Amino acid sequence: MLYDQTFFNQQSGRYEVEAFLRKSMEDFGGFDNLILWQAYPRIGVDDRNQFDFYRDMPGGLPGIRDVVRRCHRLGVKALVVYKPWDLGTRREAVSDIEALAALVGETEADGVYLDTMSEAPGGLRAVLDGVGSGLVLEGEGALPLERVHDHLMSWAQNFGDGDVPGILRNKWLERRHMMHQTARWQRDRYRQLQTAWMNGSGVVVWENVFGSWVGWSARDRATLRTMLRIQRHFADIFSGEGWTPLVQTEVPGVYATLWEKGGIKLWTLINRQDQPVSGVVLKIPAVEHASYYDVVMGEKLDPPVEHGHVLLYGKLESHGIGGFVAGTSGPLGSDFERLIALQRGHQTSVAGLGNFPQRPVLLISEPLHYGRETDRTLSGMVRIPSASLIMRVQIRTRECGFYGNELEQDELYGNLNKPRLFERRVTVPAFAIDATPVTNAQYAEFLRATGYTPHFRENFLKHWTGGSVPVGKEDHPVVYVSLDDARAYARWSAKAIPSEEQWQYAAQGPEGLTYPWGNTMEPGRCNGGQSGGTTGVRAFPAGRSPFGCYDFCGNVWEWTESERTDGRTRFCMIRGGSYYTAEGSHWYMDGGPRPTNYAAKFLLLWPGLDRCATIGFRCVAPLQQ
């Protein structure tokens, strides 16, 4: 996730590539390649397409190219992403395939990850081959066998492995094909790891799932670190012809695969049992002049021999892995002793370290420091009395989650795109709220008075012409402002950005109306996209709220003072809906006018991307009791 706070430093505006990859080495044994994820779940809030999202990342396409080059200096590859379902936003002047080829060329990426696809669209392979050699295509779904020749990698997503471990078809038929195990919502990953260990394949490390935290336990991280050293050291064996699945073991519930090449025999073992196993696990024909090693534990063995067979003793943790190597010093190579030494110093006992690592979600909103109440402050505002009520908030179930880490696998797949209701008792002290969203003219007054210039200017007031309000749109809501741009205006006006509670109560009134005017959507009450853009903030007087406020539904989304972080993802809740809807895919972010209790989780990255054509704001001020 390019939004990940450990990958992009949102204060300095710099990608922390080296620190991110160093941490990956510490936690997982290091990454071989990164998928640079850019758009979903944000895409669809305005008409920017998937390619625009790369252009609007910090530093634009040159910034992404710099990320790729920094990855390359550390021996890591990087892929860009293609979303075939993105057909409802702004279209490029060229075909998607041509746009992808240009993106790969400009960023120097190592290939393309194919979101939601099993195989690349026709013509993409040939176009990429014109950009450079060896560029990778990797799809999310099960790759058809007929395409193994031109897709160098593929995901083995949600591979339905049984108690007896299965064999990955494409890896079996093309030993050089790299597959990656993944089941994004599984919090216990031992099955994925064991499948990869038995098949000589890879694993997707995906803790920040579109803004939902699904972290790896200490046990699973330790298992992967152990596996990776061995897989990398013996990469030519794992991609060679000497693969014999499911060789005989001496313990029920323990399974083994034999890998052979150039005088080396390597056995990978897994324990499917809920209990640890120790003792003789393999009985193998003796290998002449060979030395034997427990390559997982990092130990040279002196196994007993009975009737020409070697008895290999081992210890496998519950749901753990094991591994043995037999070979002579020549084939094993001079660096094999270094591998054994590294494995010996590695943590081998992972019992009790399988708990899911929690990340608390913290509210980090700006404190509501108002100025002194004056007639000027309250001009154009509506007074809202204090209230104590049950606030009900509706959020569409999406993979980015809700307020915290509430998302579970069963809930997601059973309720994807369905509404989920949150309730909390709130007390709202009396306050005043702007009768309308802040307009272009009002924001221009703020700029004249303060000379405000944001630290990052990308896309700031992008819809203005030469730094001036477009003629005829003085009373339209100001957009292309970040949450911090809105906060700066609020501070100048001795106000604040409304909390979710303040915004919702002002919009729905004491009766908790579904829409500001009542409980049913009615024509002529709001800007639902009829004009193809924003409208004046008082254009729909029939859509006012019970307290007399305008534009709480449609026209533009509004920032609320609800910023949160779990240390990996920053987000806030936006309210009200907008004039814009991206049609054609349920993967798009929510669009169109929305009910008063509706909230959309909006991931925050940096101002250049957070400024949108469809998000504005209004302000609040306290009322003296």
Please report, for residues 234, 295, 422, the alpha-carbon distance to residue 238 in angstroms, rounded to integers and kept in the order given: 6, 15, 49
pLDDT tens, position by position, 276-290: 999 999 999 998 899
Q: How far apart are CA 217 and CA 226, in angstroms?
A: 14
Q: How far apart are CA 371 and CA 621, in angstroms?
A: 8
Statement: residue 350 has pLDDT above 60: no
520: left (phi over 0), alpha (psi -120 to 50) or beta: beta
Q: The tokens of 323 are what?
A: 């591994």
Would you state the pLDDT for residue 366? 73
Band of the pLDDT at 305, cuts 50, 70, 90? Answer: very high
> What CA dihedral angle connects 25, 197, 413 and 423, to 10 degrees?
-40
Vertex 590 angle, CA 432 and 483, to 5°: 45
Would you state the pLDDT for residue 526? 98
CATH number at residue 464: 3.90.1580.10
Residues of the chain with pLDDT > 90, as a percent, come to: 89
Statement: residue 351 has pLDDT above 60: no
Asked if residue 371 is part of any domain, the answer here is yes
Q: How far apart are CA 484 and CA 366, in angstroms?
A: 9
Asked if residue 495 is part of any domain, the answer here is yes
Asked if residue 92 is part of any domain, the answer here is no
Would you state the pLDDT for residue 14? 96
Q: How far apart are CA 327 and CA 319, in angstroms?
A: 27
Using alpha carbons, select from 49, 83, 75 the residue that is nearest to residue 613.
Answer: 49
SS3 331: helix
First to last CA, the chain: 46
Statement: residue 368 has pLDDT above 70: no
Residues of the chain with pLDDT > 70, as a percent, come to: 96
Asked if residue 311 is part of any domain, the answer here is no
Query: Lowest-pLDDT range, 91-95, 415-419, 599-603?
Result: 415-419
Band of the pLDDT at 378, cuts 50, 70, 90? Answer: confident
Asked if residue 165 is part of any domain, the answer here is no
Using alpha carbons, select from 323, 326, 331 the residue that is nearest to residue 309.
Answer: 326
Band of the pLDDT at 160, cuts 50, 70, 90? Answer: confident
Q: How far apart are CA 401 and CA 485, in angstroms?
A: 26
Would you state the pLDDT for residue 357? 87
Would you state the pLDDT for residue 598? 98
Q: How far apart are CA 58 and CA 64, in angstroms?
A: 8
Which residues form the domain of 570?
A: 362-384+429-622
Q: What does the pLDDT average to over 114-123?
A: 96
Q: What does the pLDDT average to over 238-252?
A: 97
Statement: residue 4 has pLDDT above 60: yes
Which DSSP category does 12 fall into? T
Statement: residue 406 has pLDDT above 80: no
Using alpha carbons, select from 136, 128, 174 the residue that is nearest to residue 152.
Answer: 136
Q: What are phi and psi of 39, to 5 degrees?
A: -110, -65
Statement: residue 168 has pLDDT above 90: yes
Using alpha carbons, select from 217, 190, 379 the residue that is nearest to residue 274.
Answer: 190
SS3 181: strand
Statement: residue 449 has pLDDT above 90: yes
User: How many domains are contained in the chain?
Assistant: 1
pLDDT tens, position by position, 466-518: 999 999 999 999 999 999 999 999 999 999 999 999 999 999 999 999 999 99
What pairing do the DSSP bridges indicate for beta strands 305-306 and 242-247? unpaired
Q: The tokens of 101 are what?
A: 């080829």
Q: What does the pLDDT average to over 177-204?
A: 95
Vertex 238 angle, CA 237 and 241, to 5°: 70
Q: What does the pLDDT average to over 65-91?
A: 98
Band of the pLDDT at 355, cuts 50, 70, 90? Answer: confident
Tell me the pTM: 0.95
Q: Mean pLDDT for the chain?
A: 94
- Where b means 16+ CB within 10 Å and e means fewer, 104-116 reads bebbbbbbbbbbe
pLDDT tens, position by position, 556-603: 999 999 999 999 999 999 999 999 999 999 999 999 999 999 999 999
Q: How far apart are CA 415 and CA 185, in angstroms?
A: 14
Q: How far apart are CA 122 and CA 127, in angstroms?
A: 10
Would you state the pLDDT for residue 375? 63
Asked if residue 222 is part of any domain, the answer here is no
Q: How far apart are CA 400 and CA 211, in angstroms?
A: 5
Q: What are phi and psi of 278, to 5 degrees?
A: -145, 150
Q: Are 544 and 436 in contact (CB under 8 A)?
A: no
pLDDT tens, position by position, 321-343: 999 999 998 999 889 999 999 99
Would you state the pLDDT for residue 414? 79
Asked if residue 545 is part of any domain, the answer here is yes
